[in-house]
Amino acid sequence: MEDQRPVGAHQARDLVRVAFGPSLVALAVITAVTLLQLVIANSDMTGTLGAVASMWLAVHQVPISIAGHQLAVLPLLPVLLMVWGTARTTAQATSPRASWFVVRWIVGSALGGPLLIAAIALAVIHDASSVITELQTPSALRAFSGVLVVHAIGALIGVGAQVGRRAVRSAGLPGWLGDTVQATKAGLLALFGLSGAVTAASLVVHWGTMHELYAITDSLFGQLSLTLLSALYAPNVIVGTAAVAVGSSAHIGFATFSSFTVFGGDIPALPILAAVPTPPLGPVWVALLIVGAASGVAVGQQCARHPLPLPAASAKLAVASLLSAATMALLGYASGGQLGNFGDVGVDQTTFAPGVFFWFFVVGGLTVVMSGGVTRRPRRVAAAPEPVADVEAEPLTVPMVFGVPEPEPVQEQPQAEPEPEPEAEPEPSPPPRPVRPAPGLEDVEDLMFVDDDIEPDEPAR
């Protein structure tokens, strides 16, 4: 039974928290970090609000332009945290039995609050650019679209976690669509986790290169800043490792990296980038393809938890693979962009999403078959044909009521009664005895008379 309560005062607090909670938390963290940076650098507070507003928009993948140089390669970790915060607040405010009217209010609040803050941030940046000429106001369309996409994804995840299965049932869609979300989650977590492990192992192997990158600054504050910046950009590097693991490639300007070849080039002095392979490429990097295969196994195991016939099982695996490929393509797009004089940074989008789909669908399909995730369809038993009545031999005798024949009453077949035992035949009665004639009557004719024997009456005297 759905909760049909209207949006009232008892839900206003939840809507306000959904609208402004994650954004205000991000603003508080950004303000604290900015003020700490300015205090340590012995700088004045001029343009602090503009810097805070620019960093808040950067959390939503809005490029920052400073002194004519555009920084479009923004860290993925703040974006992922913003999506997680939006999803968490919307999930807490949404009841599994909430009406669709309430759900629309929650989604509208999750989008309206950040858009309002984005408008205020653009106004603050435009005002600060008059004081700090190096700071440039970003495009309004790009700012609003970035904020809208980030919070829409978070709201969709949060609301879908509560009412997703009910929405699938109400739309008349197959019930196995809910299982595809779990399979997608398992595949992406496996791909990210294994790629992160490979990145960490590569950092250990290239420890000397990472030490050289830390040596560019002698101050403790500078090294702490490089460590924090490396942590923020760690998801970007993991996405590039995942691209290499599925057979695609990643590039930083002219430098290109894949499992089969590496082309050298200039890379930024960021310690996390010490994990990239250096030429000549050893054969051990080909083994990185095992990461893609292992992630496909994780998807197949989740799809095999509820066995289905072959067409339905194939459709469920295909939908899960498509969702995973689309998610990785979106992350690959968000992790790249222009990086000043280094050029374009990112992954090869023409092969990244198809590579993810290939490993997840092919290896996942083999896993589904081997794990017993395919069942046979039940055989349909053909019903015996009913005898056709002879119309000519049996005339229609069903009574008609307003043109509709009434159904004939079902007559019960009488049960066969036991045959009675044969009765004993009566004994034959003795034949009648012959009657003897009376004495003096020898013949029957003696007892008969005729008219001639009757004498006429004498005349009366």
pLDDT for 415: 54
pLDDT at 397 over 60: no
Please provide the DSSP assignment of 163-219 as one string: HHHHHHHHTT--TTHHHHHHHHHHHHHHHHHHHHHHHHHHHHHTHHHHHHHHTT--S
How far is 279 from 270, CA to CA, in rounded Å? 19
Spatial CB neighbours of 312, under 8 Å, sequence gap ≥ 6: 174, 176
Within 10 A of 35 (CB to CB), how many other CB atoms are there? 14
Helix (H) or strand (E) holding 66: strand 64-66
pLDDT for 393: 43
348-365 pLDDT, tens digit per residue, is: 989 999 999 999 999 999
Binned at pLDDT 50, 70 and 90, residue 297 comes out as very high
How far is 461 from 458, CA to CA, in rounded Å? 9
More reliable by pLDDT, 279 or 358: 358
pLDDT for 261: 83
Highest mean pLDDT among 213-222, 387-396, 446-455: 213-222
At 99, which amino acid appears? S
Q: Is 68 helix (H, G, I), strand (E, B) or coil?
A: coil
pLDDT at 453 over 70: no
pLDDT at 410 over 90: no
Please provide the DSSP assignment of 312-337 as one string: HHHHHHHHHHHHHHHHHHHHHHHT-E
Within 10 A of 101 (CB to CB), how many other CB atoms are there? 13
7-20 pLDDT, tens digit per residue, is: 455 678 888 899 99
Spatial CB neighbours of 126, under 8 Å, sequence gap ≥ 6: 137
Contact (Cβ atoms closer than 8 angstroms) between residue 260 and residue 247:
no
What ranges do the domains of the chain cover? 1-173, 174-376
pLDDT for 284: 74
Q: What's the distance, CA 188 to chain centroid?
A: 13
Least trusted range by pLDDT, from 49-53, 204-208, 262-266: 262-266
pTM: 0.77
pLDDT for 358: 94
Among residues 62, 159, 151, 60, the alpha carbon closest in space to that of 111 is found at: 151
Give the residues across from 3 on adjacent strands. Answer: 98
pLDDT at 336 over 50: yes
Give the residues across from 256 on adjacent strands. Answer: 251, 263
Mean pLDDT of 417-438: 54
Find the largest Cα–Cα distance for the chain. 197
Contact (Cβ atoms closer than 8 angstroms) between residue 136 and residue 50:
no
Q: What's the distance, CA 390 to chain centroid?
A: 57
Highest mean pLDDT among 130-139, 191-200, 275-284: 191-200
pLDDT at 416 over 70: no
- Could you give the count of Cα atoms lying within 13 Å of 431 in the half-sphere of its Cβ? 3
Contact (Cβ atoms closer than 8 angstroms) between residue 56 and residue 26:
yes
- Could you give the count of Cα atoms lying within 13 Å of 151 in the half-sphere of its Cβ? 28
